[in-house]
Structure 1
Amino acid sequence: MSVSLQHKIYNALNGASANDDALGISERASKYGQSNYFKILLALTFTKLGDALSNPKTVLTWLMAYVSAPVYLISLIVPIRESGSMLPQIAISNYVKTKAIRKWIWVTGSILQAIAIASIGLIALHFEGALAGWLIVLCLILFSLARSLCSVTSKDVTGKAITKSVRGKLSGYTASVSGVLVLLAGLYIIYKSESDATISFYSTLIFFAASTWIIATIIYASIKEFPGETEVESIEENPVSKFALLKNDKDFRDFVIARSLLLCSALSAPFYVILAQTYLGNSSSVLGYLIVANGIASIVSSPFWGKLADTSSKNTMSYAIIIASVLGTVLFIIVSFSESIREAQWLYPFVFFVLGIAHGGVRLGRKTYVVNMAKGNQRTDYVAVSNTVIGIILLITGGLSALTSLFSVELVILLLSLFGLIGAYKSYRLKQVE
């Protein structure tokens, strides 16, 4: 891409005034801000596509059911994937802070994620039953640990390379572009379902997902990152001491509490899928429609959420979780009291579409908030501590949700929605950081 074309596209996406605003980054970094903007956008677009094509809430659930893995193992994959990438982050953050250049840690994590996902494809081809289920769970643990490397460093790199006024838009456009690709993938799955998709098809889908992390690695490695603030790793420093932030930093503590209550948009998604399977069946076309719905949700909503986050990321979280909570409450009423509507073919793709819009706003809002509320190594600590706490809460709530789902899936959705409404209030009360 030529410099002039890059400049024009950047202005069109962010407004001409964004070129003069180097708030939050060094003067040297601002010279490469536009090229880094597009490199990060492309790299994260590919990882988001890979995430969608190996999503435990949809694709991996279908894949494990296809190879006859036990239900109790299927119920573990979402908490393991989500919490496993968060729990190690305090320990990892100490190492990360010793590095002036941090993109190579992200690159390492991305390669390991590709290996883990490709291994799942091989397992699906050659194993079945409980053995296949346990092997897939082990691969997800490796994937999650590798993901934690990327999670800790990505916000640091973005914070050093991208000016503060366009970070929310960057996340929004990334989600939107990846949404287009996810939409195309979902349409292809629907097309293949007509010829009765086999295990070879699903494995190929997983292999393609793995390749997206390799492509992202190549792009991310070319980012121009300048040395930043570092700390010498202290033998005496106890990673657990980082939790003192929760006691001493009120603004950060309020953010962690709010973020914990926002988990309903993520935790409720698998139960939406279970309801779809219960009332519409296990056809791969249903999976395709859910993926398409999620892709369209990203396309239509992400630019809006991105612009709103650059104005007020706390309000973005609040508005988005209200949508998810109201949706869950309405779905509970429909499933509980309307037999005709709960078996309608259009219902679950539609509610999955709305949930995708809401969850996109929650994710984009809280990511923008934590990047903007801190600087330098403080940002690394904020990300690591908050993610570790959320990882612990995910394991606990994920286990409780799985237990409650044995009695009523729709009741789980209602309870999560009620917590979400409290989260909306807590998010709205956060300190403004933009």
Structure 2
Amino acid sequence: MSKQSTVEQVYEAINSGDDGRVCKDIPEQACDHQPKNVTTHIISLAATKVADGLIDPKLILSWLLSALGASTFLVGLLVPIREAGALLPQLFTAGALRRLPQRKWAWALGSLVQGLSVAGMVMSAVLLEGKQAGVAIVILLGILAVARSVCSVSYKDVLGKTVSKSMRGKVTGLAASVASGAVIVFGLVLASDYVERMTLVLIAMTLAAGLWIFASLTFSKLEEAEGATEGGGNPLQVAKQNLALLKDKQLLLFISVRALLIATALAPPFMVTLNGEGGVENLDSMLGGLGALVLASSLASFLSSYVWGWLADKSSRKVLILSSIVAMIALAATVLLAEYQLIRHSIVLPAVLFVLMIAYHGVRLGRSTHLVDMAEADNRAAYTALSNTIIGLILLTGVGFSAIAQVFGNVAVLAVMAVMCLLAGLLALGLKEVQE
């Protein structure tokens, strides 16, 4: 069977049941390349999502730094650097990226840099220890985060140019489901003593580096028509122009919903510590907890991502509303279970965490599809950059949740986050049906 026929089969399987809108909202010349482009997107995106799961800063890198003897302070920098670092630069990089007629090269370069950064982390773990290893890995994670920001800005723009409007959610959802299947296997091995833990983590990180490099090479073969290059001026000037986009009430409302829904990303560490297993200093002894969290997240993604993507193609607005409600229920249930001392039962915490992770993946796919479809070709990259930069700034204030936890406890933090999700669902009611 030829490569082309395989590509066609993959495309037809994904596109089965579609209403025929194969060239909706994409350049005419992109229609002929839909099968190849859809398959290329899925392969590249799945590879990077597997890599993301294999180096998860909240768990894997935190454990690695702790095992290498780095300070709690350095470990505490991992998640803020990874999240905010991937978002904050985007307001300034979007203008420069607009100078590229083909933005696939920006994504390919960003993926390559991420792979090389992780390769450097592996070398640091092998050759260094203590503070030196911690500082090196944190710096490399910062480089990875900036490269990721370039990928984030360019990807939505490339997706909008190369994949039909009626298929974007399915493409990203299927990639997430395929990737989560691989991370489930990793979680299962991690939750056993079959392979020595440090060896397993370093092998996984080496594989992650290779996957990012492979994704870079694969994505560079995408058939992307040249696009508009206007608007690529001075970063500060471009940033000022991008801020003017907030006059769009729908964009402002969308950013408000997304800001409230950061609770779905920040809540898991507070949930895990409810049973007394949490804390960076205890990561080495929480084999079951570490494996359970990886498995819960991966299973939730595997079972829900494609469904969320399919629903997002119909109505990303409804996906945001529904995922907000599901997250609110999961967090509220956690609060009640903790108050009645039921959270420590072996199956309870993984169960509510699983439900929250389903909502989290719904939020991610819903907001991504909504932003791509609400924007137009000439402002999609700017909308993405502005939204991500504002969320990056808000994520920096996430340290406030740690302060609340120290004074009032984790249950109070989760209660606040449950209210945030409820408010997000209510605000999402005002979003337009951008798929119509």
AA aligned to 1:412 is V
Quote how far apart the aligned CAs of 1:188 are. Answer: 1.8
Alignment of 1:26-425 (within 5 A): 26-191=27-192, 193-194=193-194, 197-231=196-230, 233-235=232-234, 238-275=237-274, 278=277, 282-338=285-341, 341-396=342-397, 398-407=398-407, 408-425=409-426
Give the distance between the partners of 1:119 and 1:322, measured in 2 at CA: 41
Give the distance between the partners of 2:275 and 2:166, measured in 1 at CA: 40
58-67 or 353-362: which moved more? 58-67
AA aligned to 2:220 is A
Q: Is the 8 A contact 1:176 1:300 kept in 2?
A: yes
Q: Is the 8 A contact 1:183 1:296 kept in 2?
A: yes
Give the distance between the partners of 1:385 and 1:393, measured in 2 at CA: 13
Q: Is the 8 A contact 1:313 1:368 kept in 2?
A: yes
Give the distance between the partners of 2:198 and 2:349, measured in 1 at CA: 25
Quote how far apart the aligned CAs of 1:48 are. Answer: 0.4
AA aligned to 1:249 is D
Q: Is the 8 A contact 2:371 2:384 kept in 1?
A: yes
355-364 or 285-294: which moved more? 285-294
1:73-129 alpha-carbon deviations (Å, 9 max, x no partner): 323221211111111111111111111111111111111111222222222333343
SS of equivalent residue, structure 1 residue 430: coil
Give the distance between the partners of 1:276 and 1:115, measured in 2 at CA: 37
Quote how far apart the aligned CAs of 1:345 are. Answer: 2.2
Give the distance between the partners of 2:19 and 2:214, measured in 1 at CA: 28
Runs of 5+ in structure 1 lacking a partner?
A: none
SS of equivalent residue, structure 1 residue 163: coil
364-373 or 296-305: which moved more? 296-305
AA aligned to 2:247 is N
16-25 or 103-112: which moved more? 16-25
SS of equivalent residue, structure 2 residue 191: helix
Give the distance between the partners of 1:376 and 1:277, measured in 2 at CA: 49
Give the distance between the partners of 1:4 and 1:17, measured in 2 at CA: 20
1:179-213 alpha-carbon deviations (Å, 9 max, x no partner): 1111111112223x256x34233222222221110
Quote how far apart the aligned CAs of 1:248 are. Answer: 1.8
Give the distance between the partners of 2:411 and 2:138, measured in 1 at CA: 26
TM-score normalised by L of structure 2: 0.93
1:319-356 alpha-carbon deviations (Å, 9 max, x no partner): 11211121112112222331xx3222223322232122
84-93 or 242-251: which moved more? 242-251
AA aligned to 1:261 is L
413-422 or 84-93: which moved more? 413-422
Instruction: Label 1:402 to 1:136 Cα distance change in 2 as closer, same or farther (>3 A).
Output: farther
Alignment of 1:18-29 (within 5 A): 20-29=21-30
Instruction: Label 1:429 to 1:114 Cα distance change in 2 as closer, same or farther (>3 A).
Output: same
AA aligned to 1:400 is G
Correspondence for 1:426: 427
Give the distance between the partners of 2:295 and 2:268, measured in 1 at CA: 15
Give the distance between the partners of 2:405 and 2:32, measured in 1 at CA: 53
AA aligned to 1:328 is L
AA aligned to 2:222 is I
Q: Is the 8 A contact 1:80 1:395 kept in 2?
A: no
AA aligned to 2:40 is K
SS of equivalent residue, structure 1 residue 100: coil
Quote how far apart the aligned CAs of 1:2 are. Answer: 4.1
AA aligned to 1:199 is M
Give the distance between the partners of 2:235 and 2:97, measured in 1 at CA: 17
Instruction: Label 1:18 to 1:73 Cα distance change in 2 as closer, same or farther (>3 A).
Output: farther
Give the distance between the partners of 1:243 and 1:214, measured in 2 at CA: 32
Quote how far apart the aligned CAs of 1:406 are. Answer: 2.6
State the identity %. Answer: 33
Instruction: State the superposition RMSD in angstroms.
Output: 2.1
Quote how far apart the aligned CAs of 1:246 are. Answer: 4.5
Instruction: Label 1:410 to 1:10 Cα distance change in 2 as closer, same or farther (>3 A).
Output: same
372-381 or 4-13: which moved more? 4-13
Quote how far apart the aligned CAs of 1:16 are. Answer: 5.0
Give the distance between the partners of 2:334 and 2:238, measured in 1 at CA: 42
Give the distance between the partners of 2:392 and 2:316, measured in 1 at CA: 22
1:280-313 alpha-carbon deviations (Å, 9 max, x no partner): 9733333222212222111111121111101110
Q: Is the 8 A contact 2:10 2:39 kept in 1?
A: no
Instruction: Label 1:173 to 1:93 Cα distance change in 2 as closer, same or farther (>3 A).
Output: same
TM-score normalised by L of structure 1: 0.93
Give the distance between the partners of 1:343 and 1:126, measured in 2 at CA: 39
Quote how far apart the aligned CAs of 1:27 are. Answer: 1.4
